[in-house]
Amino acid sequence: MASSLPRGIRNHNPGNLNYVGQAGAHKEPGPHGRFAVFPTAQDGLRALRDQLLRYQQRDGIDTIDGIIAKWAPPSDDNNTNAYTQTVASHLNVKPTAPLGPLTPDRLAALMHAIIRVENGQDPYGPLVNTIAQETAC
């Protein structure tokens, strides 16, 4: 894959998830590699989806503010406030407003917003919606 593409797209990891032993993934090579590399974009999108669902269902995180604070903390050199504002704006919600259940449509919108922030682009289009819809099955 072209090295000019953003890291998340090259790694089939559009959410730039850290590698923590995810099934089928491996750690990106190099001395500073920390992100997961997935076999396919679909696998990376499913990992993104599953992590967001885990934050809500397991951890009880129900706001954009809470999700992004955990996803992209300032301790990892992120501009968490700008990230939060961008995602909240994309979803047309206040950062501290409860999201309620992550329906497939809301989940897809959240995934699209994170992908755009992480990669500066979102080349996945309807594939994100398809992956989000799998939660309804």
pLDDT in tens, 35-89: 999 999 999 999 999 999 999 999 999 999 999 999 999 999 999 999 999 999 9
Q: What is the model's pTM? A: 0.95
> Would you state the pLDDT for residue 137?
54
Please provide the size of the chain in residues. 137
Q: Predicted confidence band at 14 (pLDDT cuts at 50, 70, 90)? A: very high
Q: What residue ranges do the domains of the chain occupy?
A: 40-136
At residue 112's C-alpha, the angle toward residues 43 and 86, to 5°, is 135
Residue 2 has pLDDT above 70, yes or no: no
At residue 112's C-alpha, the angle toward residues 28 and 6, to 5°, is 35
Torsion of CA 16, 45, 29, 39, to 10 degrees: 180
Give the DSSP H/E element, type plus range, for residue 37.
strand 36-37
> Would you state the pLDDT for residue 1?
60
- 107: nearest Cα among 68, 87, 133, 70: 133
Percent of the chain at pLDDT > 90 equals: 93
Q: Predicted confidence band at 3 (pLDDT cuts at 50, 70, 90)? A: confident
CB–CB of 45/78 below 8 Å?
A: no
> Would you state the pLDDT for residue 135?
80
